Structure 1
Amino acid sequence: MPLTDLIRYFNVADTTGESTLYLDGPRAAAWHHGYRLSSLFQPIVDLRQERVVGHQAHLLVRREDGRAISAAEVYAACETPASVIHLDRLCRTLHALNFLAQQQVAGGYLQMAVHPRHLLAVQNQHGLVYEAILKRCGLAPEDIVLQINTTACGERTRLTNALTSYRQRGYRLALSGPLPAETLLALAPDIVQRDSVEARHSLPSAQPAGILLELTGIDSGRQYEQACAAGVDLGQGSLFGSPEPDCRPTHGKRRLAYNHASPFGAPHENRQ
């Protein structure tokens, strides 16, 4: 479905009257309570194979006067659980639309954050509504890595139930936060995210099979070498590219993938 049709569909489906998606050049953007929301994408690199395998979505927020502000300020303005759920789904819908708009040259997976307040506000069936949104966009939970900071996610049982629901629907999970290493790994994420090589050493040298380590903030060749030496699997940072409206190409326009491997062990099938 063309991007314009998808924007029209989601605007009609949104009965809250709080937000409006609109076409901004070749991309989607949104108005939400006087804020202009748009997407930025930062490449995620498989350090072993030196290839882009996914993109981290970032939210760019501007006031009506054009001044950029932090995404945290927009979330802080949400006064009710329902408003947090609405905003968080709006942001992830926006990212999905802008990722979809680049499928001609951008493959791999889309990694994006779930706000801790959203996770706590949803009582059950986590990921169900967003799965329907993804399907409307021609995507699936298997295309998505949900990034969750465990710092503010409440009691362990609540977090475990949410993760179980996401996993049952096919989403991949990337966890970060100060939980003890054993506790974090017991939650069985697909990815453990750390922000420094030193933090990597808080994890066991032998991780459970299938769990990948992702390091953010790789901004220099020296940091890259340290990450490789420490056994880091995936990396983000300005060395590979800063957040931009356009994804880093992962295949040619003739659908010939030159970054074809998935970090999860299966080849990525390019959609026609």
Structure 2
Amino acid sequence: MRFPVLNQYLSRLSSDGAAHTSIQLDAQGRAQGRFFNCTMTSAFQPVRELHRGAAIAYEGLARSAAGGGDGLSLWKLLDSAASDDESVELDRLCRMLHAINFFRQEEAAGAAGADLYLNVHSRLLSAVSSNHGHAFRRILDALELPLARIVLLLPPVTAQQGWLINYVADNYRRNGFRFAVQATGARDGAALLERVRPDVLRLDARAAGGSIDADAATVALLEQARQAGVRVEFRHLDTAGALQSLHRIADAAGVALLAQGTLLDVPQSTLAPPAVASGAPAALSL
């Protein structure tokens, strides 16, 4: 393991049984978190380059520990039962849990240097009054984990909340984080590129290729993103039809796209190989 302070922290958890922390280790050495009498752990879904299939990042997802990290998603269930303060606590617990479970794996410590995508949930945006990202940065610094490999995934907001996403994004940027925003379509994406200046722009693959006009608008957005130095990821890539549409759009735009979805990988507790996932369609690479 290339992160000695993290290794020392995990050793202490193992030796004292995690009696004084909400983080503990299972028999396989994976970190688990306790919240509302539920035990959760991490699953990771790769984000791949469409043209060559390489995994350039992994999104951390909270899963029931009963499924070994591959089971039921607990976030919606737990968040619906939580107050604002408890929701912030849950959000931070999940991000710490995912960071530990990601960087403890040899694949994450290797030369490939894939990023870790971590969700910031919507209630945290308004529940935290100032200096978003400061508390999480302190955790990463304490464990000597590389902040440069973290990408925070900001939730979608309404038009009336535009000021809030600007404020939060600026706070995260000041604390050294890269971040991604999610657009509802090409027009929204263009506005976010201008207003928020994200590092990654996320779109829904299920909406890609609906019409020639939609393709043209998406191609224009991709060119705008390329000029701004912003990478574009298409989420929810779950069907062969959506994959074909993405290849068509990528060809027309002449840019490399990122893709993520169950057509390529299902979330699992261990990190997938950096090459194309087994069972992924040959059409992933042109």
- TM-score, normalised relative to structure 1: 0.78
Take 1:69 and 1:50, find their aligned partners in 2: how far apart are those partners?
Answer: 26
Take 1:48 and 1:137, find their aligned partners in 2: how far apart are those partners?
Answer: 35
Q: In the alignment, is the contact (CA less than 8 A) between 2:45 and 2:60 conserved in 1?
A: yes
Call closer, same or farther: CA 1:50–1:178 in 2, change over 3 Å.
Answer: closer
Residue in structure 1 matched with residue 248 of structure 2 by the alignment: 229
* SS of equivalent to 1:41: strand
Take 1:110 and 1:162, find their aligned partners in 2: how far apart are those partners?
Answer: 19
Structure with greater helix share of residues: 2
Percent identity of the aligned residues? 26
Q: In the alignment, is the contact (CA less than 8 A) between 1:126 and 1:165 conserved in 2?
A: yes
Residue correspondence of structure 1 range 1-272 to structure 2 within 5 A: 1-3=5-7, 5-6=9-10, 8=12, 20-24=22-26, 25-61=28-64, 68=72, 70-79=74-83, 81-102=84-105, 103-105=108-110, 107-151=113-157, 155-178=161-184, 180-186=188-194, 187-196=196-205, 198-199=207-208, 201=214, 203=218, 204-205=220-221, 206-208=223-225, 209=227, 210-231=229-250, 233-250=257-274
Q: In the alignment, is the contact (CA less than 8 A) between 1:6 and 1:137 conserved in 2?
A: no
Call closer, same or farther: CA 1:149–1:177 in 2, change over 3 Å.
Answer: farther
Call closer, same or farther: CA 1:182–1:195 in 2, change over 3 Å.
Answer: closer
Q: In the alignment, is the contact (CA less than 8 A) between 2:237 and 2:259 conserved in 1?
A: yes
Give the aligned residue type for 1:23: L
Call closer, same or farther: CA 1:27–1:148 in 2, change over 3 Å.
Answer: same
* SS of equivalent to 1:36: strand
Give the aligned residue type for 1:185: L
Shift of 1:181: 3.3
Q: Provide structure 2 residue ranges, at least 5 long, that are not aligned to the other structure.
A: 251-255, 276-286
Q: In the alignment, is the contact (CA less than 8 A) between 2:6 and 2:143 conserved in 1?
A: no
Give the aligned residue type for 1:219: D
* SS of equivalent to 1:170: coil
Q: After TM superposition, what 4+ stretches of structure 1 lie above 4 angstroms from structure 2?
A: 6-9
Q: Provide structure 1 residue ranges, at least 5 long, that are not aligned to the other structure.
A: 252-272
Q: RMSD in angstroms over aligned alpha carbons?
A: 3.1
Take 2:103 and 2:119, find their aligned partners in 1: how far apart are those partners?
Answer: 17
The range that moved more, 234-243 or 149-158, is 149-158
Q: Cα deviation per residue 1:190-225 (whole Å; 9 max; x = unaligned)? A: 111112253584543422321221111223554333
Shift of 1:62: 6.0
Shift of 1:247: 0.8
Q: In the alignment, is the contact (CA less than 8 A) between 1:125 and 1:165 conserved in 2?
A: yes
Matched pairs, number: 243
Q: In the alignment, is the contact (CA less than 8 A) between 1:131 and 1:140 conserved in 2?
A: no
Take 2:246 and 2:177, find their aligned partners in 1: how far apart are those partners?
Answer: 26
- TM-score, normalised relative to structure 2: 0.74
